[in-house]
A and B are shown apart, each in its own frame.
Chain A
């Protein structure tokens, strides 16, 4: 079994032990989304119009919640030093941790979104585009977030610094993610918007593990 899957296996094993963490992220996502119908009111048309935006913004915030722990747990108990000196490329370590982060946040959020879409009165035609957009978009969130988590590792007030570093970088994904869901919900061709989301994912896949590994090196010095 390659080191990549061994590392993912260990992070998943840890998140099963700490399953409350994953449940809390999903719970935060669900409760925050459900607050909007209460705040905005049930007039027809309003929620339907802003639904995709609410889902995406809330997904961004929810994925931030667990980023804080992405490297800091391993840093605090010394496991990070051992991982970086182990016979594994640091990029592999980082890529595996990002994959595990997505499996425990991005994926559950994607699966939860269609149910919450009902609360937001979103049309049933936008269910498939919603899942597709989140499936392509949320891995990019984990990838970019990992760079932020590595950069802010060891910084004081990391909890506030991390969103300040990361959220501006999430804006392009937010724009195209919402656009893709809305455009297809209205019955228009949205292939181009999905392609852009896919492009972001490919760029992030190529750059982020490497950038996060370099930042980790600096942070552990």
Chain B
């Protein structure tokens, strides 16, 4: 992981606004993150947390403004959304092995990820049979493969019990300490100190009709 981190990665956003369903969700958002930064995105429902994360991950086009990732290399992003992306008919092990191969992770990375998320007992179970919390853990174990330096996580704590919230928190803070970047949208306070924090309610879209 460490040699992939040179040169420093940077995520620069300026004057960003995004649109969804014909409605501008937020406007005028700027931020600048580099190695070792953790950004926590908060805000009420519908304020655009998920939309912002999808724009940052490159899944959604911005309406205005720019997202610049340096070095320009999309292999550096690991996105985890509301849905875990696990294939129900494949076992946890098979799911994880696929992502490891696709992300180009080392051979031992799968075992490390399994160990980090304590997935040993469910390895041979089809993902369909897992409870919501186990699914989440299996989905998030992709992060522990250690191939990406920018993690973009949308509500990772959903369905997790207290013990596993701590597990995720320590994974995140270790990543930040090792020089990674974390962007985290959440309703609950994370168990580590983020270097940056934004509230989406501070970037409301201009609703009044203005003469541009």
Residues of A within 8 A of B (CB): 1, 3, 6-7, 10, 13-14, 17-18, 76-82, 84-88, 220-221
Contact = CB atoms under 8 A, between A and B. Distances in A.
B3 to A, nearest CB: 16
Given A1-B101, A6-B98, A10-B98, A85 B57 contact: yes
Contacts of B87: 10, 14, 77, 79
Nearest to B19: A221
Contacts of B89: 14, 17-18
Contacts of B94: 13
Interface string B44-87: 00000000000001111100000000000111111111111111
B203 interface: no
A81 B75 contact: no
B127 to A, nearest CB: 9
16 contacts: A10-B87, A13-B94, A14-B89, A17-B90, A77-B83, A77-B85, A78-B81, A78-B85, A79-B87, A87-B73, A87-B74, A87-B75, A87-B76, A87-B102, A87-B103, A221-B61
A108 to B, nearest CB: 20
Residue from A13, A17, A84, A85 whose CB has the most chain B CB atoms within 10 Å? A85
A14 B60 CA distance: 28
Contacts of B99: 82, 86
Interface SS, B side: loop
B22 to A, nearest CB: 12
Contacts of B88: 77
B101 A79 contact: no
B102 A86 contact: yes
CB-CB nearest 9 A-B residue pairs? A78-B83, A87-B75, A79-B85, A17-B89, A78-B85, A85-B79, A82-B85, A6-B101, A85-B57
Interface of B: 57-61, 73-90, 94, 98-99, 101-104, 142, 147
Residue from A14, A18, A78 whose CB has the most chain B CB atoms within 10 Å? A78
B153 to A, nearest CB: 12
Given A85-B58, A220-B59, A77 B86 contact: yes
Contact of A78 (B61, B73, B82): B82
Given A77-B86, A81-B79, A3 B102 contact: yes
Nearest to A80: B85
A84 B59 CA distance: 7
A153 to B, nearest CB: 14
A204 B81 CA distance: 33
Contacts of B61: 221
A21 to B, nearest CB: 11
A20 B78 CA distance: 34
Contacts of B77: 85
A13 B87 CA distance: 11
B74 A82 contact: no
Contacts of B59: 81, 84-85, 220-221
Nearest to B57: A85
A88 B147 CA distance: 13
